[in-house]
């Protein structure tokens, strides 16, 4: 009584390949979504604090640090440069941290201290 040899319905490899491609595509998309989030907001070589302030800080503190709406005036702040550096490192309350190099955080703190009252 020989069983009839059933022909393979379809090569099993194709499903494995499809699953592999699907996983690869999903991983690629996840990577693309994740990459911009991990990029520092400020290009590491950028030294123009005026331009960085305009892009990263003015939205809350106003273009000259005079404050805006519920966000505080920072021109003439009583905080020391070191305190400002620390706050830029960690953020505070609604203020996000300033994602930049340590040298840029120091330069930004100096820039803030120079803003006219």
The residue nearest ligand HEC at its CB is 57
Provide the phi-psi class of 115: left if phi over 0, else alpha when psi is between -120 and 50, else beta: beta
How far apart are the C-alpha atoms of 64 and 113, rounded to whole Å? 12
For residues 75 to 114, the per-residue mask of contacts with ligand HEC, x marking binding by CB under 6 A and - elsewhere, is: --xxx----x--x----xxxxx-x---------x---x--
Closest to ligand HEC by CB, 20 vs 50, is: 50
How far apart are the C-alpha atoms of 19 and 52, rounded to whole Å? 45
In the complex, least distance from residue 9 CB atom to ligand HEC, rounded to whole angstroms: 59
| Alpha-carbon distances of 87 from 25, 98, 103, rounded to whole Å | 40, 9, 14
Torsion of CA 114, 115, 116, 117, to 10 degrees: -110
Which residue bears the tokens 């021109």? 75
In the list 62, 71, 86, 115, the residue contacting ligand HEC (rule: CB under 6 A) is: 71
Tell me if 49 contacts ligand HEC by CB under 6 A: no
In the complex, least distance from residue 34 CB atom to ligand HEC, rounded to whole angstroms: 22
In the complex, least distance from residue 24 CB atom to ligand HEC, rounded to whole angstroms: 38
Q: Where along the sequence are the contacts to ligand HEC (CB under 6 A)?
A: 56-57, 59-61, 71-72, 74, 77-79, 84, 87, 92-96, 98, 108, 112
């Amino acid at each position: 009584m020989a069983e009839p040899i059933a022909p393979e319905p379809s090569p099993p490899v194709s499903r494995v390949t499809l699953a592999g491609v699907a996983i690869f595509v999903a991983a690629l998309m996840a990577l693309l979504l994740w990459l911009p989030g991990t990029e520092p907001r400020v290009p590491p070589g950028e030294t123009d604090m005026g331009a960085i302030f305009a892009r990263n800080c003015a939205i809350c503190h106003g273009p000259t640090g005079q404050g805006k709406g519920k966000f505080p005036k920072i021109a003439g702040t009583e905080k020391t440069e070191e305190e400002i550096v620390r706050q830029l490192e960690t953020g505070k309350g609604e203020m996000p941290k300033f994602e930049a190099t340590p040298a840029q955080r120091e330069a930004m703190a100096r820039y803030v201290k120079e803003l006219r009252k």
